[in-house]
Amino acid sequence: MIRLALFVSLTLFSPALAATAGERVRFAPKFVPGEVLRYRIESRTTTTGTTTTPIVNPEGGSRSTQAIHMIVRLETLGVSAAGKVRFRATYEKSSAESESDALDLAASSSADRYNHLEGRSVEFTMEPDGQFSDFQNVGAAAAGQPVLGQPAPGQPAIDPVLALLQGAVSDGTFPQKGVAIGEKWTSEQPIPGALLSGLTRRTESSYLRNEPCGSSAGSQASAVQPGQHPDDCAVILTHFEILRRGSTHSDATPDDYRRNGLRTSGTWTGSGESLDSISLSSGLLVSSTDTNTQEMDYQITSASSGSSIHHVGKVQSQSEVTLMPEQP
């Protein structure tokens, strides 16, 4: 869940002025009712590790891989004076494949979930702070189906399916005064729903340059139609790391675990980078590539019985989000 929630930090932007060397650009989101965007999302995640439990499982796996392929149609339904934006997301294409060196029912269930998304739609509101709320299934497929995006009790505030979309429409963390080519800025945010308390995601971003959209390394597609002159794009490089604030000897148990009679301890670290390409003329995210690695060594212990689960693992993820050309 945390891995998905940390997927690519992507944004839609509307520059207030053209970005040339020395000029500052204040990136502010702008959405137009009736506007339709299509994003292709490709991701691949490889998980390795071992889990030790009170009951030994000789068939437990140590390696699994999941690949996700999606095309999401995103329509802006309305924009309120308070800055709230209502969207409808339709999963025009959605599939996933999972591989494991052992029977993994959880991985199979996750793949099935993506495979059953195709054709379904959900409406939701983006709050001024970028968070999603007020989810509602729409269309014939909604009858009897769980509400997409609605989190289960005790889970993070956003469903992992829509976590892939959240970065594509929510604000990034940019200086209020704007940024100029060559400038760097940092941000730090706590990780919601983390298994260890105090986990923080720290990012350092750089406005590298302007270049024709679609020419950045790793971009395999562009929103520019054949024969058209490509727009210029701002290229933003972001490095991130996961670290834990506070003493290494302090209790790392989050309140939710404590209330359920559990204690957590151990380490969880990570690092990675993303390269985003943003059109200066339209303000749209054209492409983004993201790679990250997380390593964990944690233990969950029952305060009453003393039984525990110990997990040591590594998660490696790569993802690409691309704005597709407009369709007739």
Cβ atoms < 10 Å from Cβ of 253: 19
- pTM greater than the 0.85 cutoff: no
pLDDT tens sequence for the chain (328 residues):
333 333 333 333 334 334 455 678 766 667 889 999 899 999 999 999 888 887 766 656 678 899 999 999 999 999 998 888 999 999 999 999 988 876 655 555 667 778 888 888 989 998 887 778 888 888 655 455 555 555 544 444 455 566 666 666 665 567 778 889 999 999 998 888 889 999 999 999 999 999 998 765 444 444 444 444 468 888 999 999 999 987 777 788 999 899 999 999 999 999 999 999 888 777 778 888 999 999 999 999 998 888 999 999 999 999 998 998 876 6
Distance separating alpha carbons of residues 220 and 287, to the nearest angstrom: 9
Q: Does the structural domain 2-323 have CATH classification 1.10.150?
A: no
Residue 113: partners with Cβ closer than 8 Å, 6 or more residues away: 96, 161
Separation CA 67–CA 186 (nearest Å)? 31
Alpha-carbon distance 309 to 222, whole Å?
A: 46
Question: Which residue shows structure tokens 């963390």?
Answer: 173
> Measured between alpha carbons, how far is 218 from 216 in angstroms, rounded to an integer?
6
